[in-house]
A = this chain, B = another copy of it.
Amino acid sequence: MATTVMPELLQPDASESTGHPLDGIFRPRSVAVVGVTPTRGTVPYDIFYNILSSGYTGTLYPVAPGKRSICAVRAYRYVVDIEDPVDMAVIVFPADVVERALEQCGRQGIKSVIVISAGFREVGPKGAQREQRLKDICAEYGISLVGPNCLGVINTDPAVRLNASFARKMPAAGRIAFLSQSGALCTAVLDYARAKQIGFSKFVSFGNKAGVTEIELFDYLHRDEQTDVILLYLEELRDGRGLIEAAQRVTRGDNAKPILAIKSGRTPQGADAAASHTGSLAGEDPVCDAVFREAGIIRIGSIEEMFNAAIMYAYQPMPEGNRLAIVTNAGGPGVMATDAAVSAGLSIPRFAESTTASLRASLPAAANLKNPVDVIGDARADRYTAALEAVLADPNVDQALVILTPQSMTDIDAIARGICRIHEQAAKPIACSFMGAADVHSGVRLLQAAHIPHYILPEWAGDAMASVQQIRLWRRQPIGQPTLLPVDHQAARAIIDSSSPGYLSEDQALVVLEAYGLPIPTYRLCPSADEAVAFAEQIGYPVVLRAISPQIVHKSEVKGVTLNLTDADAVRGAFDRMHHHLASVAPEAEIHGMLVRGMIPDGYEVILGAKRDPSFGPTLMFGLGGIYVGLFKDVTFGLAPIAQATAARMVRQVKAYQLLEGARGGARADIESIEQCLVRVGQLITDFDRIVELDINPLIAGELEIGNAVADVRIRLGD
């Protein structure tokens, strides 16, 4: 057990406030641990002991009913008995007592509370009720609450040194903040990071996020001078729009800091598992992707990848571009790194003439002077440093990766020291992969001490560098406020307000779309064959008849559509035949008439969809239509309302964009007009809460001169 380091007495102002409401959590001048027990190896004891022994610069009060002192520190029966002002309380009582303790904190004027205890929303409806009562108390007293069901909070800032958690050890100080919804994951991450010599600025387990969420934490860490990168492990994304706004503030602008996140529950089975262990609703995964993309949050697959990317960003300068030079003493790993880097989106440039000349001068004849440079298995430090200097000086190179395999003649430490020397002067990022384990150990330590990112596998270096590219590109990407196009809100409202829940009939849906400026072919709902013929004559042949009935949602299933009618007789015949047929196959359907419209010219079939997601609110979908949509899932998502720039990105995210561009020998579609349609659909679902689902499937995207047309639409209203 570590030596107990006692806080210095009477040092209430050791940590200066930054003026942020979460200062109470991160920089409290005094902390009460409420519910401490004297038994070592229990969470209540461990938390108290961790604060006491980690060098906390403020004052610590144990609240332990029935105990005179804990670890020789005078204890209090209730938090209200403490005679001094208390900035923050850590509640470690069993779940059923937490409510009373929190209430007392509120009465005592404590504005910051961490509830470590489990037994809330994650255990079912009864726990959810308990959690709701905590929320109510926080609202009443204006308390910032972290938890419940969490590991706690750590701040390594020397002015504070607070380990208000039951993690086994205080992590080293560093420039990375880690936020996790899973408490247990935190302990593994701390242990893992220690082995990799990675330090943290702040470490927060926010559990059920009944109070403070990742959104407030982003805001705090954005201002935090100790933090350069924010890592997030998230199980439940509740407020998509709020997350986007908060993350954009953090990840853009002068003081931009990247956010790298793991969102678990990618697969339906994973989402089920997440739901059953935290009671969280995971949300649809492609929508999460869309939220992260809009937020500028880099989505990462695993803890390993997350730290791989974080150290690359935190330790190295931002590269100017994605061009990577590789220097290796082994061809195979060079090839594997090339494969991985290219797959991740980096490029492997050709060198300038001068670089090749300089490599030729310093490497043996058998060396490969092209990128990846092979300095050959028997290379020692002189070749490595000469090659690394040459490629870093190349104007076509933005960053370098050094790969080493331990041959019997390889002077590993000397090579590491050579790289460190070059790194001191280099303006471009350098990463290393000294492959193996024991043989390369001391070399790796040298690199890590110099903050040169090291990866066991060269492939991981490529992935990390690619993540940094994502950060770089995000910072330059135009973002904007949602575009607001002029629409006839009244006309749409007239239909929607007067309709009952369920699907709008097609003619009504078309009125709504038209009011929002979507391209609707000229049409008329004709109750009789005579009227249908008269309208057809007016707009010209060929025409289409579509049966309109509130009971018929899927027209084609009941032969409720007839295409390509070329004259009056055909229209009349089809009108009667359809009426007759519907009377037999859907006798309950009340037929309002036939919608008559012209044939839509050929074009590409695309889908525009909108849906109200329980976690994210209104979402948009865009994709390739027809039979291929189900086959290739060539669709992308966004949160409505959207900016024109976002619409443009969405359209370009699907593979079918190549078709729309005319790349496969076809005509170029009117892409801007498709983007506008997306913006308009986003506006529509945002403006009307009652729209639960809207599908334009397909929108026929015609050539530039012809434009687009809605070929079919379904709008479903809620209560």
- B188 in contact with A335 (CB, 8 Å): no
Number of copies of this protein chain within its complex? 2
- A336 in contact with B456 (CB, 8 Å): no
- B277 in contact with A334 (CB, 8 Å): yes
- What's the nearest-Cβ distance from chain B to residue A583, in Å? 25
A210-225 vs B, CB cutoff 8 Å, 1 = contact: the mask equals 0000000000000000
A323-341 vs B, CB cutoff 8 Å, 1 = contact: the mask equals 0000001111111101100
Q: Given A338-B270, A438-B191, A664-B631, A457 and B655 touching (CB < 8 A)? A: no
- What's the nearest-Cβ distance from chain B to residue A412, in Å? 11
Q: Which residues does chain B contribute within 8 Å of A335, judged by CB atoms?
A: 235, 264-265, 270, 273-274, 277
A166-200 vs B, CB cutoff 8 Å, 1 = contact: the mask equals 11100000000000111111011111101110000
Q: A436: nearest residue on chain B (CB-CB)? A: B191
- A332 in contact with B184 (CB, 8 Å): yes
Q: What is the bound-complex CA distance between A450 and B15, given in angstroms?
A: 50
Which of A72-80, A106-114, A403-411, A587-595 lies at the binding interface? A403-411
Q: Which residues does chain B contribute within 8 Å of A249, judged by CB atoms?
A: none
The reply on A303 being an interface residue by CB < 8 A is yes
- What's the nearest-Cβ distance from chain B to residue A426, in Å? 24
Q: Which residues does chain B contribute within 8 Å of A409, judged by CB atoms?
A: 41-43
- What's the nearest-Cβ distance from chain B to residue A370, in Å? 5
- What's the nearest-Cβ distance from chain B to residue A178, in Å? 13
Q: Which residues does chain B contribute within 8 Å of A304, judged by CB atoms?
A: 456-457
- B267 in contact with A118 (CB, 8 Å): no
Which of A451-485 touch B at CB < 8 Å? 456-457, 459
Q: Given A46-B408, A457-B304, A332 and B182 touching (CB < 8 A)? A: yes
- What's the nearest-Cβ distance from chain B to residue A400, in Å? 15
Q: What is the bound-complex CA distance between A277 and B374, given in angstroms?
A: 8
Q: What is the bound-complex CA distance between A576 and B185, given in angstroms?
A: 78
- B270 in contact with A339 (CB, 8 Å): yes
Q: A342: nearest residue on chain B (CB-CB)? A: B267
The reply on A269 being an interface residue by CB < 8 A is yes
- Which of B264, B368, B439 is within 8 Å of A339, CB to CB? B264
Q: What is the bound-complex CA distance between A333 and B405, given in angstroms?
A: 33
- B264 in contact with A182 (CB, 8 Å): no
Q: A267: nearest residue on chain B (CB-CB)? A: B342
- B457 in contact with A277 (CB, 8 Å): no
The reply on A123 being an interface residue by CB < 8 A is yes
- What's the nearest-Cβ distance from chain B to residue A148, in Å? 12
Q: A274: nearest residue on chain B (CB-CB)? A: B335
By size class, the interface of chain A is 35 or more
- A329 in contact with B184 (CB, 8 Å): yes
Q: A346: nearest residue on chain B (CB-CB)? A: B269
The reply on A634 being an interface residue by CB < 8 A is yes
- Which of B183, B302, B347, B634 is within 8 Å of A336, CB to CB? B302
Q: Which residues does chain B contribute within 8 Å of A347, judged by CB atoms?
A: 269
- B184 in contact with A330 (CB, 8 Å): yes
Q: What is the bound-complex CA distance between A332 and B178, given in angstroms?
A: 15
The reply on A511 being an interface residue by CB < 8 A is no
Q: A633: nearest residue on chain B (CB-CB)? A: B655
The reply on A658 being an interface residue by CB < 8 A is yes
Q: What is the bound-complex CA distance between A659 and B348, given in angstroms?
A: 39
Q: What is the bound-complex CA distance between A631 and B628, given in angstroms?
A: 12
The reply on A677 being an interface residue by CB < 8 A is no
Q: What is the bound-complex CA distance between A119 and B324, given in angstroms?
A: 28
- B191 in contact with A119 (CB, 8 Å): no
Q: What is the bound-complex CA distance between A437 and B185, given in angstroms?
A: 13
A13-37 vs B, CB cutoff 8 Å, 1 = contact: the mask equals 0000000000000000000000000
- B185 in contact with A332 (CB, 8 Å): yes
- Which of B188, B196, B272, B301 is within 8 Å of A435, CB to CB? B188
Q: A277: nearest residue on chain B (CB-CB)? A: B331
Q: Which residues does chain B contribute within 8 Å of A370, judged by CB atoms?
A: 273, 276
Q: Which residues does chain B contribute within 8 Å of A264, judged by CB atoms?
A: 332, 335-336, 339
Which of A105-138 touch B at CB < 8 Å? 118-119, 122-123
A257-275 vs B, CB cutoff 8 Å, 1 = contact: the mask equals 0000010111111101110
Known: A123-B365, A192-B435, A278-B331. 8 other contacts (CB 8 A): A42-B409, A181-B332, A184-B330, A184-B331, A233-B332, A264-B336, A265-B335, A269-B347
CB-based closest 6 A-B pairs: A182-B332, A184-B330, A191-B436, A195-B437, A188-B435, A277-B331
